[in-house]
Amino acid sequence: MAPASFDWWKRESHRGTPVVVKMENPNWSMVELESPSEEDFLISDSPSRSRDNNKSRNKNAKQLTWVLLLKAHKAAGCLTSIASTFLSLGSVVRRRVASGRTDSETRMENENKAVKSRFYSCIKLFLWLSVVLLVFEVSAYFKGWHFGTPKLQLEYIFTSPIAIKGIFDLMYSGWVLIRVDYLAPPLQFLANACIILFFIQSMDRLILCLGCFWIRFKKIKPVPKHDDTPDLESGDKGYFPMVLVQIPMCNEKEVYQQSIGAVCELDWPKSKLLIQVLDDSDDPTTQTLIKEEVHKWQQEGANIVYRHRIIRDGYKAGNLKSAMNCSYVKDYEFVAIFDADFQPTPDFLKRTVPHFKDNEQLGLVQARWSFVNKDENLLTRLQNINLSFHFEVEQQVNSVFLNFFGFNGTAGVWRIKALEDSGGWLERTTVEDMDIAVRAHLQGWKFIFLNDVECQCEVPESYEAYRKQQHRWHSGPMQLFRLCLPDIIKSKISVWKKFNLIFLFFLLRKLILPFYSFTLFCIILPMTMFVPEAELPTWVVCYIPATMSFLNILPAPKSFPFIVPYLLFENTMSVTKFNAMISGLFQLGSAYEWVVTKKSGRSSEGDLVSLVAKEPKTTHQKGSSVPNFSEVKMEMKQQEQKASRKKKKHNRIYMKELTLAFLLLTASARSLLSAQGIHFYFLLFQGISFLLVGLDLIGEQVD
């Protein structure tokens, strides 16, 4: 009797496989699906138990059917949302492309048209050649010329009787023999040379990352010497020498208020601080606005002066050089430089200047940049990855192990004596910051980079502004290399430092990197699809680039979802960097272009709140530069609305990038015939990346 009651209790306790379903409009989702019990799988001779098991199985089958239907309904909902997303994306692309302008319609006056057209003509030639070859290869494929791998089976060419061959077979046989005898050997040699350069550069990147890991593991950090001497004016204890602060700017009305306001809030004795606003603007309205802003802060008690040059010679270097020639500069020991979009924190000088105390060989203290608009769009996120690696890895490692790195041009404090010993600011290149850093290094001065001291700024939000900035940053170092090479060789620094300057600092990171990136992935790789006898290994195309991208993204861990776009975008930017490198190396016209990077004037609400928090309790004068938070937001909104009514935004259509996009997509189609999976996917996605950049769909539109 006991076993029967026990079976009855088991049958009551297990009533099939319950499913709890909730409705999430418009889709359904399954919350719980209980797994079958052991009883469902027992085989028994008892008729009653068999009937119970059959009923249980029927219930399970019905419930499973419902679950599958619910999942199908959910999948259909997902497909519908994906389709609507693609439709909206397509409409945005169509709208932005319709308002686009080509390079020729917006070409700069000082741009070297001959050089640009020659470079563009070479890319177009490769494109048309690839299209003709693709048609030829597809025709051969349908006639039975199947090549599964780059290693060709040429028995058909030599064993098939000539009489059997048609004209097309003869032509294709001749093309294959030309490839094997004349095209493949030089192409393979060039590919191998680029692979060696690629490997060397990857090892350099890996060593830098290991150096950064070592710094973190050992917690190596520059520590300033403390000074307990109290300042007579402020009463604070510390090291308070005379500091000059310079803010060079040129037609940057979007950001001048932020930088001037932040610098005037620096926590430093006023009698030992002088602020120079170095205005090179040629717009009378902008000049008037900056003058008024300086006057407001003078009324607030800030020690600030306004300087304007009528003749704008030498761009930023000429502006800084002119300011350093003022008679009162001799009273100051250090100079801090901030570009117009930089907003230092009030304790910036207290965290940087003390490093100079009792360290007479120290010439520069450089702070790290942080970005208020790093999450604005995909372009700003990718720039944040690059610059985070530059500061946390490159600058920090070179500072700790070599006491030398390239000055970033802003957010740094110089010892004025180091500037004078190095020859001061020179206008001979578009990278005056790197120029003065190299010359100071040759004079024996040491540099310190502070990774924990940040200064807020902006990154370009439009591809047009970013492209011009990168052109200047990559053409200038090649100009400087040509000018500095004799001085480096003749200098009295050690052989190791000369090697570091010539090979690592200039050749490897400024010349070889853009050269092999463009040549290997944009020229050689597509050519190997049409000349398959020359091949690139899979590890060159996929594994090493992926590993390097992973290392680059480590300093910005929140950007890991963008690792694939980052890899593709870096290869896409190689065309601009390669063009700039060639212009600077051979002193072509575009190497001397200086275009002020367009600023948006974005400031986070946290920055505005901090300004209000620092507002004095006393009532401000009319027109005070620290307005009420709500008034600031209202004024910014009105300015944006006014600007949107006056200016119409448009896209630029970049013909070089578009031509390379179609070249890579054509090569990816050819790779399908050889069944090269990795190469096909790389070329396909890289071609799409060039297409998006060529249509200016990656950043903000330009005015």
β-sheet bridge partners, residue 372? none
How far apart are the C-alpha atoms of 513 and 581, rounded to whole Å? 10
The DSSP element (H or E) to which 32 belongs, if any, is: strand 27-33
- Here the tokens at position 59 are 């219930």
Peptide bond into 557 cis (omega under 30): no
| DSSP H stretches of helix in 390-492 | 396-402, 416-421, 432-442, 463-490
Question: What is the side-by-side order of every strand in the sheet holding 243-249?
Answer: 304-308, 273-279, 243-249, 334-337, 412-415, 362-371, 446-457
- Which residues 6+ apart lie within 8 Å of 189 measured at CB? none
DSSP structure string for 203-227: HHHHHHHHHHHHHHHHT----PPP-
Pairing relationship of beta strands 412-415 and 652-653 according to DSSP bridges: unpaired
Place of tokens 């010993």: 421
Checking phi first, is residue 301 left (phi over 0); if not, alpha (psi -120 to 50) or beta? Answer: left
- Assess contact for 275 and 285: CB atoms under 8 A: no
How far apart are the C-alpha atoms of 103 and 87, rounded to whole Å? 28
- Assess contact for 386 and 335: CB atoms under 8 A: no
Amino acid residing at 146: H
Instruction: Extract the runs of DSSP E, i.e. beta strands, from 100-223.
Output: 101-102
CB count within 10 Å of CB 119 equals 17
Within the chain, what is the greatest distance between any pair of CA atoms?
113
Closest CA to 321 of 422, 427, 219: 427
Closest CA to 554 of 371, 393, 379: 393
Q: Is 227 a catalytic residue?
A: no
How far apart are the C-alpha atoms of 673 and 53, rounded to whole Å? 56
CB count within 10 Å of CB 232 equals 9
| DSSP H stretches of helix in 541-676 | 544-553, 563-585, 605-613, 629-646, 655-673
The DSSP element (H or E) to which 177 belongs, if any, is: helix 167-178
- Assess contact for 473 and 480: CB atoms under 8 A: no
Instruction: Extract the runs of DSSP E, i.e. beta strands, from 156-300.
Output: 243-249, 273-279
How far apart are the C-alpha atoms of 628 and 634, rounded to whole Å? 10
How far apart are the C-alpha atoms of 455 and 178, rounded to whole Å? 59
Peptide bond into 344 cis (omega under 30): no
β-sheet bridge partners, residue 33? 19
CA dihedral 483, 489, 494, 500 (to 10 degrees): 50
How far apart are the C-alpha atoms of 637 and 651, rounded to whole Å? 23
Catalytic residue among 280, 339, 341, 435: 280
How far apart are the C-alpha atoms of 371 and 380, rounded to whole Å? 9
DSSP structure string for 253-264: TTTHHHHHHHHH
Catalytic residue among 52, 433, 435, 696: 433
Q: Is 282 a catalytic residue?
A: no
CA dihedral 152, 157, 159, 163 (to 10 degrees): 160
Task: Annotate 340-371 with b (16+ C-beta within 10 A) or e (fewer).
Answer: bbbbbbeebbbbbbbbbeebeebbbbbbbbbb
Q: Is 599 helix (H, G, I), strand (E, B) or coil?
A: coil
As annotated, the active-site residues are 280, 433
